Structure formats: C-alpha cells, structure tokens
C-alpha cells in the first residue's frame, strides 16, 4: 500500500487548478489566468520514477479522474493494474485481485498533508497551498514553470522541491525527494467536465 501511495502522493500536483496564494509582484497570477478550471477533469498520465537504488527507472501509465468534493481516482494500467482513490482523510487502494486496502491519513502527518495538498490544488484552495510552499515562477508565451519549496519541516523531510510546467493545464510535474529519488509525471489527453461517470468510477467513489 505504501509503495503505491508514495508513487502517487509524491506527484500530487496534478492537472488543473494550480493557484497558490501569491503576491501581486509574482508571475503566479499570470499562471492562474492561463489555467482552465473545472469541477471534473480526466487525463492520461505517464510516470517515470528514478530511484537511487535502481539502474533503470520505474515506469507506469494510466488515467486519472478528479471530481471536486469527491477526490482523485488514479487507475494504473501498466505495468500492473491498480486503482487508488485519494481523499483528504483517507487513501483507498484496489489491487488487480480485488483486494481493498485503506489508509487513514490522520495516522501519518506527511501523507495527511500531501493528500490535502492534492485536493487543495485541484479545488483551487489558494490559501492552504501558499502556507506550505515558497514559490518562484517563470512565464513566457510558450508556457510557464513554477518551483515550489516546502516551508514545513515535515514536508521538507520528504520533498526537496517540486517543479511544475504547463500552459492551459499542468503538463509535467518533477518531484525531487530528499533521499535523492526523482519522479517525473506527464499529463495529456485532457477532458474537462461535466460528464457522466461510468459504473467503475461510481462504485469507487461510493466507497
């Protein structure tokens, strides 16, 4: 459970409404104005995780669904099948064999904070994000780049910095962990709601 969770929680800055609290003299307001906002969002993802202990990166791909007020549902399709639902208070994982594992994020301060950051990012909770990170940005006609460095000791113990790149959507996230591991997450094929959920998605959000 923790391996799968770390893979996704380490890449929480996904798709969409990245609008941290900013001062008027920063470029983040320009980023905010370029990003599309939606209560529902679908995307495909490709993740490459480079671990210091391994010579080759770990690669996974699949799709995700964000529904405001419900959470973020990740569906890994390769190299294995697993689904992970992230909410502010818990993370639920479904294995390919149908086994269900729940993690109460309240028992782990870091996982709790990261889960809240995911949802705050996608729902546009600017004050919450601004409290946790120092921000620096670069904006051009071709797109934008945002660098986040954690303020809290708990987050800083796990993550060195996060670099986010995009234009109308968040297109790439680079997470550098303190232990030297680096995760790169890319997004494509965005679909903005509203739209109907399929039975699989309805059943998972109903948990």
Residue 19 CB partners (closer than 8 Å, separation 6+): 28, 31, 32, 35, 124, 126, 129
pTM of the model: 0.77
In a domain, 200, yes or no: no
- Please tell me the distance from the alpha carbon of residue 162 to that of residue 57, in angstroms, as a whole number: 18
In a domain, 205, yes or no: no
CATH of the domain at 112: 2.50.20.10
In a domain, 204, yes or no: no
pLDDT higher for 63 or 20? Answer: 63
In a domain, 201, yes or no: no
In a domain, 206, yes or no: no
Per-residue confidence (pLDDT) for residue 2, from 0 to 100? 45
Owning domain of residue 22 = 2-191
Per-residue confidence (pLDDT) for residue 103, from 0 to 100? 78
71-75, 85-89, 122-126: the lowest-pLDDT one: 122-126
Terminal alpha carbon distance of the chain: 17
- Mean pLDDT (whole number) for 10-27: 44
In a domain, 148, yes or no: yes
pLDDT higher for 124 or 168? Answer: 168
State whether the Cα torsion 143-44-128-68 is positive or negative: positive
Checking if the pLDDT of 114 tops 50, the result is yes
Long-range contacts of 124-131 (CB under 8 A, 24+ apart): 124/17, 124/19, 124/37, 126/19, 126/20, 126/21, 126/22, 127/21, 129/19, 129/20, 129/21, 130/20, 130/21, 130/22, 131/21
The number of domains in the chain is 1
């Amino acid at each position: 459970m923790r391996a799968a969770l770390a893979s996704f929680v380490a890449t929480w800055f996904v798709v969409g409404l990245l609008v941290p609290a900013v001062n008027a003299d920063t470029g983040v307001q320009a980023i905010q104005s370029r990003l599309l906002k939606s209560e529902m969002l679908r995307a495909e993802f490709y993740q490459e995780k480079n671990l210091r202990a391994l010579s080759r990166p770990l690669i996974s791909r699949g799709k995700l669904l964000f529904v405001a007020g419900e959470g973020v549902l990740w569906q890994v399709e390769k190299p294995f099948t697993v689904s992970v639902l992230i909410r502010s208070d818990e993370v639920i994982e479904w294995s390919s064999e149908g086994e269900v594992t729940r993690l109460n994020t309240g028992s782990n301060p870091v996982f709790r904070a990261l889960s809240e950051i995911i949802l705050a990012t996608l729902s546009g909770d600017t004050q919450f994000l601004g409290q946790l990170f120092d921000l620096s940005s670069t904006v051009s006609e071709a797109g934008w780049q945002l660098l986040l460095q954690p303020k809290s000791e708990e987050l800083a113990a796990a993550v060195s910095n996060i670099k986010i790149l995009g234009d109308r959507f968040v297109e790439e996230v680079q997470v550098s962990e303190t232990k030297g591991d680096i995760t790169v997450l890319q997004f494509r094929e965005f679909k903005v709601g509203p739209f109907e959920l399929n039975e699989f998605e309805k059943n998972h959000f109903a948990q």
